[in-house]
Amino acid sequence: MDTVRIAVIGAGVIGLSTAVCISELVPQCSVTIIADKFTPDTTSDVAAGILIPHVYPDTPIYTQKRWFRDTFDHLSSIASSTEAADAGVYLLSGWQIFRSIPAEQVPFWADVVLGFRKMTEAELKIFPQYVFGHAFTTLKCETSVYLPWLEKRLKTHGGLLLHRRVDDVWELQPSFDIVVNCSGLGSQELVGDSAVFPMRGQILQVQAPWVKHFIRDGSGLTYIYPGASYVTLGGTRQKGDWNLSPDAEISQDIFSRCCTLEPSLRRACSIKERVGLRPDRSSMLLQKEFLARDGRRLCVVHNYGHGSGGISVHWGCALEAARLVSECVQALRTPALTSKL
């Protein structure tokens, strides 16, 4: 049996995790990642990496829950192992708070995270402008550590990393048999998908090691996520904004909103501004397609458009993408189907 040659476009959390899953699950294959940006320059690197799902309006809830659970379980076992600090994965507890009682008091992912419960009156007193909240323990996946760890894991399985911009998936034919498109926002140009667009997010990275809990406003606009090397303060959601340069006024506003939630942050120092363009889409595209052109054929598996929720569902989506790749491999190796094409 010939080795199936698989190219994965994109080296963010989606590309890397998908490549690792494929290399671990699909027998007799070679995996090459091709991307114009690698860590620490990907969109994933800007994300705080907290596991709280984003809700995709056009994907069934049971599917979103399955991907979140797969990701949570996978990261949980890393968090309890000696590898945790090498992978940048660890437990984090905190609160999600609301200024008015939300319509959905218990979110679909409540039984996936640990120890989920409603906040007590005494706890809510810590946040004077808030009337309702959730307390739970989840995971933080520090992308600046996790991505290099995934790269290392891929290399131990013989995977290759190639620094190159791909303008057309057909460039990869005939060198590769299957192309896995994890190009995030790049899919707008790469495959002409206008449904994916940037949702600009600006954040601050500050030194405040005394902050041990995450605090998130239920709207998702203001949040404080403590990490191993800095605390992420956020944020913004600016639809269709491609500007990668930080805006000073926005930084002031973020800092002020976060200090309202956690006044001790006023003493935080060493503030860095970062911008990331979330690859937003009403539902991510996770499916395979067979392309044909001038007698050539190419199997493409898409895995992009995860918006704000990429890290929260990455492993579940990577497993599904690997399954789709296996189906493509089957199709390629089945003589009957080959002759039909």
Partner 1 sequence: MRVVVIGAGVIGLSTALCIYERYHSVLQPLDLKVYADRFTPLTNTDVAAGLWQPYLSGPSNPQEMEWNQQTFDYLLSHIHSPNAENMGLALISGYNLFCEAVPDPFWKNIVLGFRKLTSRELDVFPDYSYGWFHTSLIIEGRSYLKWLTERLTERGVKFFQRKVESLEEVARGGVDVIINCTGVWAGALQPDPLLQPGRGQIIKVNAPWIKHFILTHDPKSGIYTSPYIIPGMQAVTLGGICQLGNWSEINSGQDHNTIWKGCCRLEPTLKNARIAGEFTGFRPIRPQLRLEREQLRVGSANTEVIHNYGHGGYGLTIHWGCALEAAKLFGKILEEKELSRMPPSHL
Interacting residue ranges for partner 1, rule: CB under 8 A: 76, 79-82, 84-86, 88, 90-93, 114-115, 117, 119-120, 122-123, 126, 135, 137, 142, 209-213, 226-229, 262-264, 266-267
Comparing CB distances to partner 1, the nearer of 122 and 292 is: 122
Smallest separation, CB 261 to partner 1 (Å): 10
Q: Are 38 and 8 in contact (CB under 8 A)?
A: no
- Is the bond into 226 cis (omega within 30 degrees of 0)? no
Smallest separation, CB 176 to partner 1 (Å): 38
Measured CA to CA, the distance from residue 298 to residue 189 in angstroms comes to 18
Residue 81 CB coordination number (10 Å): 12
Q: Are 9 and 190 in contact (CB under 8 A)?
A: yes
Comparing CB distances to partner 1, the nearer of 35 and 141 is: 141
**Coil vs helix vs strand at 259:** helix
Comparing CB distances to partner 1, the nearer of 166 and 211 is: 211
Which residues lie closer than 8 Å to 263 by C-beta, 6 or more apart?
A: none
Comparing CB distances to partner 1, the nearer of 76 and 173 is: 76
Smallest separation, CB 267 to partner 1 (Å): 5
Query: SS3 breakdown of the chain: % helix, strand, coil, rounded to 5?
Result: 35, 30, 35
Comparing CB distances to partner 1, the nearer of 110 and 195 is: 110
The four Cα atoms 95, 213, 114, 228 give a dihedral, to 10 degrees, of 140
Distances in whole angstroms, Cα of residue 125 to Cα of each of 97, 129, 190: 11, 9, 50
Rounded to a whole number of angstroms, the distance between the first and last alpha carbons of the chain is: 20
Comparing CB distances to partner 1, the nearer of 77 and 334 is: 77
Smallest separation, CB 117 to partner 1 (Å): 7
Smallest separation, CB 84 to partner 1 (Å): 4
Smallest separation, CB 172 to partner 1 (Å): 38
